[in-house]
Amino acid sequence: MALTGLEVFKLLPNTNCRECGFATCLAFAMRLAAKKIEAEECPYLSEEAKEILGASAVPPIRLVEIKSGDKSVKIGEELVMFRHEKKFFHQTAFSVCIDDSEDEREITEKLEKIKKINFERAGEILKLDLIAVKDTSGDKQKFCKTINLIKNFIDLPLILFSENPEIVTVGLEEIPDDKPLIYSANNENWEKMTELAKKYNASLAITAEDGLKGLSELSERIKNKGFENIVLNPKCRSLTEILTNYTLIRRLSLENNYRNLGYPIILYLENEDNFINSAVGICKYASIVVFNDVNDWEYLPLLTLRQNIFSDPQKPLQVEPGIYKVGEPDESSPVFVTTNFSLTYFIVSTEIEGAGFSGHLIITDAEGLSVLSAWSAGKFSGEIVGKFVINSGIENNISHRNIIIPGYVAVISGELEDSLPGWNVYVGPQEASDIPSYLKEVWSKEN
Ligand code: SF4
C-alpha cells in the first residue's frame, strides 16, 4: 500500500540532520512518498521503518520480462500517469503475429519483412521486439514447426498465442530455455495455463469476457495460486473502450494501489484500424501491441511516436560532445559548431552530407539543449564555445581558421572571435534546411 508523505514522515527519526541532502525529514518524506527518491538515502531508518517502506515500495505495476537468449523485453513497473510527472520506464513492445496455418513461403516472407524494419533515429535503432506465434491450425506439429522456423530466422522473444494448453505445452517444450509470454488464460483454461507458466518460467496473459471486473477476479485467482507474472488483456471493442479501460487500469493501479490490476497490458489488433488504435495504445498505456499485419509505411511513424513518448522528458536526447566527421572531411573542409541536442546533430549532419559536402562538426556540451535554449541558459556563449573549440584539438586537423556558427546565435560572433584569436567566425543560416544553399552560395565562393 502506498504511504502518504505524513505516514512516511512518522517513520523517520525527525532529527533534520540533512545527511540525505534535504533540509528536513518532512521534505525527505514528501519526496519519498512521491517515489522521487529511495528510502536508503536516509542512513538512520529503523529496521521496522525499512520493512514498512520496503513493502510500500513494491511497484504498483508489476515488472514482467519476456526473454530469449540475451534478448529481453521488460514491461510494466510504471510509476506515473503522465510522462511529464517523471518518465515512462519501459516502452511499448511491438510484436507481429505469425499464423501457423500459413505456408513456409508466406511465413518466411513475413519474417524477412520483420527483419527489414530497422530504422535509426536520433541515435537509436527502432525495430520490433517480439514475435507472436498464433495457433490457428490446432495442429501441434504445425505450431512447433512455425516456432522452429521463426527461431532459425530471427532471434526475438516469443508470444505463444493459443488458448489450448496442449498446444502451448508443446510450444514451451520447443523453447525450454526461453521465457515466453503465453497468450492467453481465460476462465476455462486458467488453472492449466498457470501451471504451465510456472513450470516453464513463462509469463501469462489473461483474458476475461466480462470486463475489468472479470479480469480482476481472474488475476486474483491466479495470484492465489502463487503466480504473479501476469499481463492483462482487457477485451475492447472500440477505440473509446481501449482509452477508457486502459486509463482506468493505470489509475486504479497507481492511485488506488489496486493490486489485482497492477500488471502490464497487452493490446492485440486484429482489424483494419491498426494504426489509430496502436497509436492510442502506445500513448495510453499498452505495454505490448501485437499487430496481425501492418503496412510497411505504418511502422516508422509508430516507432517514432513510441520513441517520443518513452524518452525522458527531463533529459533531452543528446550525443557525446566532440568533433564528428561528416562524410570524409580533409584539412580544407568547413568547420561547423552546434550543441549536443541529438536532433540538432542529426539534422545538421544530414543537411551537410545531403548537400554533397564533407565537414568537421564540433558538438559542444550544452546538456542536450537546442541552440537557442542553450544560448538563453548561458551554455552556448562565445566564451564557452571558444574554449571548447580550442580544447577539441580541431586546429590540428585543418589548414584554415574559419568556423560556421548557427544563424540563431549570430549575437555570439563577436565574443567568439575574441575567444578564438586568428579565427574568422561565419554566421550560418538559422534553419538547418538552408545549410546546402549556404555552403554552395556563400562558403564555396569565399573559401
Ligand atoms: S537523513 Fe534521515 S534523519 Fe536526516 S534529515 Fe534526512 S530523513 Fe531526516
**227 and 86 together in one domain:** yes
Find how far residue 78's CA is from the centre of its chain.
12
Is 441 within the bounds of a domain?
Answer: yes
Give the CA dihedral 59, 61, 67, 73, nearest 10 degrees.
-100
**190 and 239 together in one domain:** yes
Best residue for ligand 1 mutational test, from 17, 18, 38 (most atoms within 8 Å of Cβ): 17
Q: What is the pLDDT of residues 19-62, one digit of tens each?
A: 999 999 999 999 998 777 889 899 999 999 998 888 777 788 99
Residue 17 CA: nearest ligand 1 atom is 4
Distant-in-sequence, close-in-space partners of 304: CB < 8 Å, separation ≥ 6: 121, 126
Nearest CA residue ID for atom 6, ligand 1? 20
Q: Is 18 in the pocket of ligand 1 (CB under 6 A)?
A: yes
Is 315 within the bounds of a domain?
Answer: no
Q: Is 16 in the pocket of ligand 1 (CB under 6 A)?
A: yes
**82 and 31 together in one domain:** no
Q: Is the pLDDT of residue 150 over 70?
A: yes
Residue-number span of the structural domain to which 355 is assigned: 322-446
**Dist. CA 380–CA 79, nearest whole Å:** 35
**Dist. CA 429–CA 6, nearest whole Å:** 55
Last residue of a domain, one of 283, 310, 337: 310
**32 and 70 together in one domain:** no
**175 and 148 together in one domain:** yes
What CATH number is given to the structural domain containing 95?
3.20.20.20
DSSP states along 381-426: -HHHHHHHHHHHTGGGT-SS-EEEE-GGGGGGHHHHHHHSTT-EEE
Q: Is the pLDDT of residue 1 over 70?
A: no
Contact, 163 vs 196, CB < 8 A? no
**161 and 112 together in one domain:** yes
Which three cell numbers, joined as nine digits, stand for 222? 491466479
**98 and 218 together in one domain:** yes
**363 and 270 together in one domain:** no
- Burial (Cβ within 10 Å: 0-12, 13-18, ≥19) of residue 15: exposed
Predicted local distance difference test score (pLDDT) of residue 392:
94
Which residue's entry shows cell 505456408?
103
Is 49 within the bounds of a domain?
Answer: yes
**193 and 50 together in one domain:** no
Is 316 within the bounds of a domain?
Answer: no
Distant-in-sequence, close-in-space partners of 372: CB < 8 Å, separation ≥ 6: 408, 409
**124 and 222 together in one domain:** yes
What CATH number is given to the structural domain containing 402?
3.40.50.11600
As for how many domains the chain has, the answer is 3
Q: Is 236 in the pocket of ligand 1 (CB under 6 A)?
A: no
Contact, 424 vs 402, CB < 8 A? yes
Q: What is the pLDDT of residues 176-189, one digit of tens each?
A: 999 999 999 999 99
Last residue of a domain, one of 310, 338, 370: 310
Q: What is the pLDDT of residues 372-402, one digit of tens each?
A: 999 999 999 999 999 999 999 999 999 999 9
Mean pLDDT of 305-319: 89
**31 and 104 together in one domain:** no
DSSP 20: T
Distant-in-sequence, close-in-space partners of 71: CB < 8 Å, separation ≥ 6: 155, 156, 157
Mean pLDDT of 365-377: 94
Closest residue by Cα to residue 407 from 318, 319, 356, 344: 344
Mean pLDDT of 261-267: 97
Is 317 within the bounds of a domain?
Answer: no
Q: 18 — phi, psi (to 5°)?
A: 75, 5
Predicted local distance difference test score (pLDDT) of residue 101:
96
**12 and 85 together in one domain:** no
Is 302 within the bounds of a domain?
Answer: yes
Q: Is 20 in the pocket of ligand 1 (CB under 6 A)?
A: yes
CB burial of 236-251 (b: ≥16 within 10 Å; e: otherwise) equals: beeeeebbebbeebbe
Last residue of a domain, one of 310, 335, 368: 310
Q: Is 8 in the pocket of ligand 1 (CB under 6 A)?
A: no
